[in-house]
């Protein structure tokens, strides 16, 4: 499991590089404490530590909601098996289901076959030797699915297919972000033993969503976050978007 975790981190840091235009040019090398080191031509080195946004303030699930989650997880697993029966491609796939249009058991077989066919078509132009990502929207997918993220990296040796926001939906995302930063700030002294020129913290999340009906992205952009890292970012996987949170003097 630890090996797969590192493979996914390699994929995610490359996703970050694709999504963030100011990512420094250089060679990204997997490391430990921090997770990655970017070696630049001017001999400067940048450390990047990754962490996943954990919904510490997650909404309590009802039995009905948990039953729906179980149904979706089983559907995703069935789609993975169907895909792998006809393809050796190793993919990281995230599914965002619609809350307005539920998938009934009667439509399950159709949704499964159509979605897998769409994913196979979407990766037709990918090359095995490079990082690749694509986001399918509801116009590409059967009713009941809002988005599907497909990503590939040559170092990914085992496919990971799962529902988005599978850790839960938070009712206080801002506080969850502060907790994520604080936990990594506590470990910064360990990372600084490598004596790198800069240290970045990358917080990844499937999709920034809140339980309450608020403009979450607007709220986050107006919040003041603090950290001992030089820069802190949130990478929203389903939006393929980077949100800078902290920028300290270099």
What secondary structure does DSSP assign to 229-250, as a single string?
Answer: SSEEEEEETTTTEEEEEEE---
Q: What is the pLDDT along the chain (250 residues), one digit of tens a residue?
A: 569 999 999 999 999 999 999 999 999 999 999 999 999 988 899 999 999 999 877 777 889 989 999 999 999 999 999 999 999 999 999 999 998 999 999 999 999 999 999 999 999 988 889 999 999 999 999 999 999 999 999 999 999 999 998 888 888 899 999 999 999 999 999 999 999 999 999 999 998 875 555 577 888 888 999 999 999 999 999 999 999 999 997 5
pTM as predicted: 0.93
CA distance 133 to 153: 9
Question: In angstroms, what CA-CA distances link 159 with 11, 19, 93?
Answer: 12, 22, 8
Phi and psi at residue 217, to the nearest 5°: -65, -40
> How many CA atoms lie less than 13 Å away from 89 in the CB half-sphere?
28
Q: pLDDT for 56-71, tens place per residue?
A: 777 778 899 899 999 9
């Amino acid at each position: 499991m630890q090996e797969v975790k590192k493979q996914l981190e390699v994929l995610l840091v490359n996703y970050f590089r694709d999504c963030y235009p100011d990512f420094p040019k250089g060679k990204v090398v997997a490391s430990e404490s921090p997770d990655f080191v970017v070696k630049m031509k001017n001999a400067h080195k940048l450390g990047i530590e990754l962490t996943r946004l954990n919904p510490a303030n997650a909404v309590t699930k009802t039995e009905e909601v948990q039953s729906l989650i179980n149904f979706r997880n089983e559907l995703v697993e069935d789609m993975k098996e169907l895909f792998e029966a006809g393809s050796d491609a190793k993919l990281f796939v995230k599914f965002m289901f619609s809350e307005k249009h539920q998938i009934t058991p009667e439509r399950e077989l159709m949704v499964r076959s159509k979605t897998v066919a769409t994913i196979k078509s979407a990766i037709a132009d990918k090359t095995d030797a490079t990082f690749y990502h694509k986001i399918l929207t509801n116009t590409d997918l059967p009713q009941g699915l809002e988005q599907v993220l497909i990503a590939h990296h040559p170092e990914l040796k085992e496919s990971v297919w799962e529902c988005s926001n599978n850790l839960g939906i938070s009712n206080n995302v801002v506080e969850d972000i502060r907790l994520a930063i604080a936990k990594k700030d506590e470990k910064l002294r360990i990372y600084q033993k490598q004596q790198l020129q800069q240290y970045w913290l990358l917080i990844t999340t499937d999709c920034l969503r809140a339980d309450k009906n608020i403009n979450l992205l607007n709220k986050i952009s107006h919040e003041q976050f603090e950290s001992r890292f030089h820069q802190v970012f949130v990478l929203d996987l389903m939006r393929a978007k980077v949100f800078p949170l902290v920028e300290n003097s270099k």
